[in-house]
């Protein structure tokens, strides 16, 4: 990618009046960035500003508009006065730079010696990619550990199904709707067709299919294709569930102590 007429987006930010008094006001940053572009014959496409916003969050109007234009491929390069003008959250910055790398969009700072349009900058981008991959792997591991802990405690990982509500983070029986669940299973095991059950209880047939196959109602929790013992009270007994789901045929002694 040539540097001549490189389509560039400028991003500037200040969070407080005190910062502006220290010489890094919005206008001062814009001037420095525009002069930087002029010296390199870069074409300024747009200037994105966030005045009075902290760099601790990416929920800033200027950043959000920049993201939108990035996805529409409106520029090839992003220029900031200083990296912390864009973000002080290392994780956010690494994630963002990794996205830029995938889109082949450069990221340059006026005051720091990092310019991804150069060979050294390209190497920097590659290192960012490694760290981003590491971060994604660590997040995945943390999420799995959290899920494993919840499952080992018999907690549900999804929203409460019909017939249950959440009470202090635990599934609890909803007295009103649990009666519908019992009726559905009893009618189905009696051989009554789904269409008749649907009309009687005003529940879509597709929802009935999901209910019948959900082991939560038998006091179990399904995770990663395996069935585990839940800590919540069942609405129906296990034999009734197995009668309607012979392909699952859950045993009474489901796995409990499965996390080492």
Query: Residue 200 is encoded by which pair of tokens?
Result: 């009687």
Residue 166: beta bridge partners? Answer: 171
**Cα radius of gyration (the chain):** 28
Please, which residues have CB within 8 angstroms of residue 187's CB and are 6 or more apart in sequence? 196, 197, 200
Query: Residue 128 is encoded by which pair of tokens?
Result: 């960012």
Extract long-range pairs of 170-174: CB within 8 Å, 24+ residues apart: 170/231, 170/232, 171/216, 171/230, 171/232, 172/232, 172/233, 173/232, 173/233, 173/235
78 near 109, Cβ under 8 Å?
A: no
Active-site hit among 15, 27, 87, 260: 15
Q: Which H or E element spans position 170?
A: strand 170-173
With CA atoms as reference, report the closest residue to 61 among 9, 94, 10, 13: 13
Supply the angle between the helices 175-189 and 194-201 in degrees, to the nearest 10.
160
Is residue 206 flagged as an active site residue? no
Positions marked catalytic: 15
């Amino acid at each position: 990618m040539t540097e001549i007429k490189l389509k560039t987006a400028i991003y500037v930010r200040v969070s407080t009046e005190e910062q502006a008094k220290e010489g890094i006001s919005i206008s001062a940053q814009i001037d420095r960035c525009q002069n930087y572009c002029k010296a390199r014959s870069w074409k300024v496409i747009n200037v994105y500003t966030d005045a009075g916003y902290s760099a601790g969050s990416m929920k800033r109007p200027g950043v959000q508009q920049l993201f939108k234009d990035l996805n529409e491929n409106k520029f090839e390069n992003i220029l900031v006065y200083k990296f912390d003008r864009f973000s002080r959250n290392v994780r956010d910055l690494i994630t963002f730079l990794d996205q830029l790398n995938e889109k082949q969009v450069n990221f340059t700072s006026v005051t720091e010696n990092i310019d991804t349009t150069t060979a050294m900058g390209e190497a920097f981008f590659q290192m960012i990619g490694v760290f981003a991959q590491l971060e994604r792997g660590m997040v995945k591991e943390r999420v799995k550990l959290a899920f494993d802990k919840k499952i080992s405690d018999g907690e549900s990982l999804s929203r409460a199904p019909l017939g249950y509500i959440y009470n202090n983070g635990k599934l609890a029986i909803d007295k009103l709707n649990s009666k519908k669940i019992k009726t559905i299973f009893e009618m189905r095991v009696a051989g009554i067709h789904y269409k008749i059950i649907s009309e009687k209880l005003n529940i879509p047939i597709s929802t009935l299919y999901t209910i019948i196959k959900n082991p939560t109602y038998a006091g179990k929790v399904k995770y990663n294709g395996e069935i585990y013992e839940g800590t919540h009270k069942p609405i129906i007994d296990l034999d009734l569930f197995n009668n309607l789901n012979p392909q699952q045929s859950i045993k009474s002694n489901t796995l409990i102590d499965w996390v080492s």
